[in-house]
Amino acid sequence: MSDETTPPPDAVTGTGADRTLHQRILSDIETRIVSGEWPPGHRLPFEVDLARRYGCARMTVNKVMTQLAKAGLVERRRKSGTFVAQPRAQAAILEIHDISREVEQTGLPYSYTIVAHAQHRATAAERARLDLDGSARVLAVTALHRAGPAPFCLEERLINLSAVPEAADADFSATAPGRWLVERVPWSAAEHRIHAASADASTAARLAVQPGTACLVVERRTWHNGGPITHATFTYPGERHSLVASFTPAGGG
């Protein structure tokens, strides 16, 4: 380290849009990792060195590193330094859009009908699905979503009335139950199960396909404050429909 003459303040500015310094440093390091220039296991320069290289304070580099570490791109060890992480089990992000949005992306007009709407005490099967005990009352709603004239998806939903009593009097003809719930119940957690199934007779009839047709089934369970809210089964007929999940290393960006 003999020449401390002119630390280039625009070491990264070449790419420079009007992004912030933080962003430029982040994407610079990210690029080196994702491109393989810094392969997994490689120790990257110390924070102080990077700070000098980018002509900034350590804190700035530190924050970038914190973010990269949280995104899983790097691993940090005190005293040893920061290392490019091994790209292990990738967690792809599955966008679960609104069905109406999903349909509209196909260019066809969206519509839906409520084909069943009943309120009763939960059966054993329903209690299991909703993770309820005792004899709570539930609302069972079945809706058929359409893309143009063709059935797009069959939604079979159970709503826990002790958690959302207002649902009993709700009018789902204008607002689909999914949207109605999302607008009412703040920040719920959800679990999705995705599997394939052959359409049984009644499902096939509603979806206007042959019985036995392979369908994609998405089950969604929703909680709020630890209590069950709703369980929904979405059945997509045939082999046309597909869910898309993507993974980008930089993703956390």
Site residues, DNA (CB under 7 A) = 20-22, 46-48, 55-60, 62, 65-66, 69, 76-82
Give whichever of 49 and 98 is closer to DNA, judged by the CB atom: 49
Q: Tokens representing 7?
A: 């630390």
253 binds, among a second copy, DNA, none (CB under 5 to 8 A by kind): a second copy
CA 179, chain centre distance (Å): 17
CB contact at 8 A, 156 and 150 = no
Least Å distance between CB 84 and a second copy? 8
The most distant pair of C-alpha atoms in the chain lies apart, rounded to whole Å, by 82
Helix (H, G, I), strand (E, B) or coil at 173: coil
Q: Which of 115, 120, 123, 247 binds a second copy (CB under 8 A)?
A: 247
In the Cβ-directed half-sphere of 232, how many Cα atoms lie within 13 Å? 24
Adjacent-strand bridge partners of 120: 138
Least Å distance between CB 135 and a second copy? 26
Give whichever of 40 and 55 is closer to DNA, judged by the CB atom: 55
Q: Which of 7, 15, 57, 70 binds a second copy (CB under 8 A)?
A: 70
Give whichever of 20 and 248 is closer to DNA, judged by the CB atom: 20
CA 60, chain centre distance (Å): 30
Q: How far apart are CA 113 and CA 92, in angstroms?
A: 33
Q: How far apart are CA 74 and CA 84, in angstroms?
A: 4
Site string for a second copy, 1-40 (x = CB under 8 A): --------------------------------xxxx--xx
Q: Tokens representing 133?
A: 């005990």
Binding residues (CB under 8 A) for a second copy: these are: 33-36, 39-40, 70, 73, 84, 87-98, 101, 182, 186-198, 212-217, 224-225, 236, 238-249, 253
